[in-house]
Chains A and B, each alone.
Chain A
Amino acid sequence: MRIIVCIKQVPATTDVAVDETTGVLKREGIKTRLNPYDLYALETALRLRGAHGGEITALTMGPLQARSVIAESFMMGVDHGYLISDRAFAGADVWATARAISESIKLLGDYDLIICGKQTTDGDTAQVGPEIAELLGIPHLSNVLSLGVPDKGSLPALTDMGDSRIELSVRLPALITVEKGINTPRLPSYRRKQASAGREIPVIALSDLAESRPELYGLRGSPTQVERVFVPEADNTHEVWEDAPAFLARRLVGELRGRKLL
């Protein structure tokens, strides 16, 4: 099986400043990590390769320091890795991101399956995966809970539809996004870290793509207009009552009556 896994470097904290004018996250100088949801995508790929053979390519888009997530995927056992990086891709929304990734995938040759995490912990949109599939013209399944055994060019899967689950089969090549909990991701290996130390990670730039009109990428190619990004206000004012349960119950009833809630 030829598998491509799309992964992303995200801030290691949820406390990230936002550029007021562009609405883009300020990523400079903050600690980063491999998007936790992508760990499940990588593990899914590694298990499929373990069972059915093949090769895995990890693909990420971001600034040069995003190479570290490709290096981490090598430490988990991925065979090949590419970084999609160009100033022209900066500030991309989900659509422009999906365009850059799908155009890059076209450069990589034939594949059977593309696997993404269900979403990222920074953007949280869960849209890039399905949009890549649409741009490539292949079928996709989102929120995959478990996979069956690939058979005659199809892959059976159980997907989570929120209030229901569906068992279905998708014709390959296809894209799936996998749920957290589909497996327990393996840990990066020190032996593999040594073996892959200093390994070149090829960069895919705008000029490498077949579709290379700059206006389709980055902030310019993004139809999303961010009006304002803000942290929702939280009201944490509270009272703590301490007393015997019987007194507390009486006081609570009194309070609820006083507020005409009872």
Chain B
Amino acid sequence: MNYAVLSSADVDFLKGVFGERLIVGEDIVSDYGHDEMGSVVSMPEALVHAVSRDEVVSLLRYANERRIPVTPRGQGTGLVGGCVPLYGGILLDLSKMNHIHALDDDNLSLVVEPGVLLMEVSQYVEERGLFYPPDPGEKSATIGGNISTNAGGMRAVKYGVTRDYIRALEVVLPGGEVIEVGGNVVKNSSGYALKDLFVGSEGTLGVITQATLRLLPLPKEVVSLLIPFPTLEMAIDTVPEIIRSRSTPTAVEFMERGVISAAERLLGREFPDNSADAYLLLSFDGNSSDEVEKAYEEVAQLCLSRGAIDVFISATADRQETIWSARGAFLEAIKAESPELEECDVVVPRARVADFIRFTREVEQKVGLKIMSFGHAGDGNLHVYMLRGDQDDRLWQELLHRSMVMLYDRATELGGKVSGEHGIGSSKLAYLAQEENPAIISLMRGIKQAFDPRGILNPGKIVS
């Protein structure tokens, strides 16, 4: 795709719209050239901080006309290079569109701008006895970023993912038209589900300028169970049994001693237990402590019968904090262990999690790259990290690619998908093309073409 290079006339136009909120060329700090993972790097020619939908409309209308690439960005906490402006052009930072507009108590919904942070959404609704269930580890991400990647998180086992909690979106199309998809309604059978198409589209189809979130009443009680097992095998082999038992945990996470130790080093404090090499971490919620206790008893018994060393109960905020702060620090902790790393965010059918984890051990042996993993055993979404260690660049790239291909091929064999919750961005684009049916990739290209015929929105992402 041939794109226009930013001219001085373009800069003048942007200045007219964004004033002081325009930054050009070398004045743009390097953070805007990468995301949290940092493995994809490319700087924009101009950076604008939008504060209103009208500004987004003016920008897109102009950029579409001039064929200048526009890459939307939230807080830059993504892990697949989704917000990196691969073709330069204009980086559209939406983090200043951060107002919470209206809580609709009658319809249990909340209207927000895309730059509101996930932690702000949780705080706002929980103070009012309400609940926005999606719970990705990165609480400082924007809701716009969460929607664009269809972020999942820990509570997906019981509550589902971001897409399940989006009622409506206001979207600016590449030509500058403003549309509203979905509605503040519980049911909707009115034509193609465009709203669901925008969720997870990584800013390639339109720019989200407002979202209506679906809320639930806040569960009054939450209890976590930390369950030590002698081996990781025993821990993850128990997960399908838990699912089969018809119990309804909100989260089922697995973690290994190596990752926990890394988190202890990073946080400078101990994890509340050190009796085992592997753990399952489960959460249960409900409206009374009796209800929650009843829900977890059966699972506790099941785990003990499957060889768990014990089952530790965490029922208060202080107790929860000691476990979940470590869990929340896993990514940072693994990052601190290696100068560079890359991640495989596959999702496999829940019954195959154990197979897949076993396979990561095989890959580690065969390829000779250190692999650390943790993840959402209860929904089949695993975070597998390849650590560069002291490999030189050429060898690292080679070993990394070999590992990735082996992992994705295996995931596909097991009926899995390339990304569970981080998206495709640019770093997983080749693997999506490799693992998906060509007819599906072709449909995706067609969809991109229908929404963005001039290809200005976040080019080089999801499909090439």
Which A positions have Cβ atoms within 8 angstroms of B?
12, 33-34, 36, 39, 75, 181, 183-191, 193, 242-247
CB nearest neighbor in A for B313: A188
The answer on a CB contact under 8 Å between B310 and A191 is yes
Q: A39-B318, A242-B51 are in contact. Are A184 and B269 (CB under 8 A)?
A: yes
Q: B residues 180-227 with Cβ under 8 Å of A?
A: 225-226
Stretch at the interface among B26-34, B149-157, B270-278, B387-395: B270-278
Say whether B158 faces chain A, with CB atoms less than 8 Å apart.
no
Q: Are B313 and A183 in contact (CB under 8 A)?
A: no
Residues of B within 8 A of A33 (CB): 316, 318
User: Could you tell me if A189 and B272 are in contact, using CB atoms closer than 8 angstroms?
Assistant: no
Q: Are A191 and B273 in contact (CB under 8 A)?
A: no
Please judge, given known A-B contacts A244-B19, A244-B20, whether A190 and B316 are in contact too, CB under 8 Å: no
Q: Which residue of B lies closest to A32 (CB)?
A: B316
New A-B contacts (12) at CB < 8 Å, excluding given A34-B316, A39-B319, A191-B311:
A39-B318, A184-B270, A186-B272, A186-B312, A187-B313, A189-B312, A189-B313, A190-B225, A190-B304, A190-B310, A242-B96, A245-B20
Q: Determine the distance from Cα of A193 to Cα of B272 in the docked complex, in whole angstroms.
A: 17
26 CB contacts below 8 A, A to B, read A33-B316, A34-B316, A36-B316, A36-B318, A184-B270, A184-B271, A184-B272, A185-B272, A185-B319, A185-B322, A186-B273, A187-B272, A187-B314, A187-B319, A187-B322, A187-B323, A188-B313, A188-B315, A189-B312, A190-B304, A190-B311, A190-B312, A191-B304, A242-B51, A244-B19, A246-B20
> Which residue, of B19, B225, B315, has the highest number of chain A Cβ atoms within 10 A?
B315
* CB of B401 within 8 Å of the partner chain: no
List of A residues within 8 angstroms of B304 by Cβ: 190-191
Picked from A36, A183, A187, the residue with its CB within 8 Å of the CB of B273 is A187
B445 within 8 A of A: no
Binary A-proximity of B291-322 (CB < 8 A = 1, otherwise 0): 00000000010001000001111111011001
- Among A188, A245, A247, the one with the most B-chain Cβ atoms within 10 Å of its Cβ is A188
Q: In the docked arrangement, what's the CA distance between A28 and B322, Å?
A: 29
B101 contacts chain A at the CB level, 8 A cutoff: no
Bound-state CA distance A243–B21 (Å) is 8
Count CB-based A-B contacts (< 8 Å): 59
Complex CA distance for A188 and B21, rounded to whole angstroms:
53
A37 to chain B, nearest CB (A): 9
Q: How far is the CA of A75 from the CA of B311 in the complex (A)?
A: 11
- Complexed CA–CA distance, A193 and B312 (Å): 10
Distance between A52 CB and nearest chain B CB, rounded to angstroms = 20
- Give Cα distance in the complex from A33 to B226, angstroms: 19
Give the complex CA separation of A185 and B225 in angstroms: 15
Residues of B contacting A185 with CB < 8 Å?
A: 272, 319, 322
Chain B residues in the interface with A (C-beta under 8 A): 19-21, 51, 96, 225-226, 269-273, 300, 304, 310-316, 318-319, 322-323
Provide the bound-state CA to CA distance between A190 and B269, in Å: 24
- Looking at the assembled complex, report how far the CB atom of A173 sits from the nearest CB atom of chain B, in whole angstroms: 29
Contact B313 A193 (CB under 8 A): yes
Q: Once the chains bind, are A190 and B300 in contact (CB under 8 Å)?
A: yes
Kindly state the separation between the CA atoms of A39 and B322 in the bound complex, as whole angstroms: 12
Chain B proximity of A249: nearest CB distance (Å): 11
The complex places the Cα of A186 from the Cα of B322 at a distance, in Å, of: 9
Give, as a whole number of angstroms, the nearest-CB distance from B324 to chain A.
Answer: 12
Minimum CB distance partner of B264 in chain A: A184
Shortest beta-carbon distance from B21 to chain A in Å: 6
Given contacts A184-B271, A184-B322, contact A189 B311 (CB under 8 A): yes
- In the bound complex, residues from chain A placing their C-beta under 8 Å from that of B51 are 242
Contacts of B273 in A (CB 8 A): 186-187
Whole-angstrom distance between the Cβ of A67 and the nearest chain B Cβ: 15
How far, in whole Å, are A193 and B314 apart by their CA atoms in the complex? 13
A30 CB → nearest B CB, Å = 13
Name the residue among B19, B313, B322 with the largest chain A CB count within 10 angstroms.
B313
Cα A257 to Cα B147 in complex, Å, equals 44
Known: A189-B310, A242-B51. A12 touches B316 (CB 8 A): yes
Q: In the complex, what's the smallest C-beta–C-beta distance from A180 to chain B, in angstroms?
A: 9
User: What is the chain B residue whose CB lies nearest that of A184?
Assistant: B270
Complex CA distance for A193 and B323, rounded to whole angstroms: 20
C-alpha spacing A200/B152, complex, angstroms: 46
Please name the residue on chain B nearest to A121 by beta carbon. B318
Neighbouring B residues of A244 by C-beta, 8 Å:
19-21
> Do residues A187 and B312 form an inter-chain contact, with CB atoms below 8 A?
yes
Minimal Cβ-Cβ distance residue in B for A193? B313
Interchain CB contact under 8 A, B270 and A183: yes
What's the minimum C-beta distance from B299 to chain A, rounded to whole angstroms? 10
| B272 CB contacts on chain A under 8 angstroms | 184-187
Bound state CA distance, A169 and B422, in angstroms? 54
The chain B residue with its CB closest to the CB of A192 is B310
- CB-nearest residue of chain A to B49: A244
For B21, B304, B311, which residue has the most chain A Cβ atoms within 10 angstroms? B311
User: In the complex, how many angstroms separate the beta carbon of B333 from the nearest chain A beta carbon?
Assistant: 16
B96–A75 contact, CB under 8 A? Answer: no
CA–CA, A208 and B51, complex, Å: 71
Q: Are B20 and A188 in contact (CB under 8 A)?
A: no
Give Cα A2–Cα B314 distance, bound, in whole angstroms.
28
In the complex, what residues of B have CB within 8 A of residue A181's CB?
A: 269
Q: For the complex, what is the distance from the CA of A188 to the CA of B315, rounded to whole Å? A: 9
Complex: A36 Cα to B317 Cα, angstroms: 9
**Residues of chain B lying within 8 A (CB to CB) of residue A193:** 313
Top 4 nearest A-B pairs (CB, nearest first) are A244-B20, A187-B312, A190-B311, A184-B270
Give the most central of B96, B226, B270, B271: most A CB within 10 Å: B270
Residue of A nearest to B316 (CB): A33
Q: Which residues of B contact A186 (CB under 8 A)?
A: 272-273, 312
